[in-house]
Structure 1
Amino acid sequence: MDAQTKLELEAAAFRRLLAHLDERKDVQNIDMMNLTGFCRNCLGRWYHEAATERGIDMDREAAREVVYGMPYAAWKAKYQSEATEAQKDAFAKSHKDH
Structure 2
Amino acid sequence: MDDQTQLELEAAAFRRLRQHLMQDRTDVQNIDMMNLAGFCRNCLSRWYQEAANERGIDMTKDAARETFYGMTMDDWKANYQTDASAAQQETFKDAFAQNVGDKS
Give me the TM-score of the superposition, normalised by structure 2.
0.86
- Aligned pairs, number: 98
Aligned-residue offset at 1:92: 2.8
- The residue identity in structure 2 corresponding to 1:43 is L
Higher relative contact order (CA closer than 8 Å, sequence separation 6+): 2
Q: Distance in 1 between matches of 2:33 and 2:55?
A: 28
> What is residue 2 of structure 1 aligned with on the other side?
2
Give me the TM-score of the superposition, normalised by structure 1.
0.91
Q: Distance in 2 between matches of 1:24 and 1:50?
A: 25
Q: Distance in 1 between matches of 2:60 and 2:43?
A: 14
Q: Distance in 2 between matches of 1:28 and 1:77?
A: 13
Give the unaligned 5+ runs of structure 1.
none
Asked if 1:52 is matched to 2:53, the reply is yes
Q: Distance in 1 between matches of 2:59 and 2:92?
A: 30
Q: Distance in 1 between matches of 2:71 and 2:7?
A: 25
- The residue identity in structure 1 corresponding to 2:5 is T
Alignment of 1:1-98 (within 5 A): 1-22=1-22, 23-96=24-97, 98=101
Aligned-residue offset at 1:89: 2.0
Structure 1 88/26 Cα, relative in aligned 2: closer, same or farther at 3 Å?
A: same
Percent same amino acid among aligned pairs? 64
- The residue identity in structure 2 corresponding to 1:42 is C
- The residue identity in structure 1 corresponding to 2:2 is D
Range that drifts further, 33-42 or 13-22: 13-22
Over the aligned positions, Cα root-mean-square deviation in angstroms equals 1.4
Q: Distance in 2 between matches of 1:64 and 1:74?
A: 12
Aligned-residue offset at 1:36: 0.2
Tell me the secondary structure at the aligned position of residue 67 of structure 1: helix
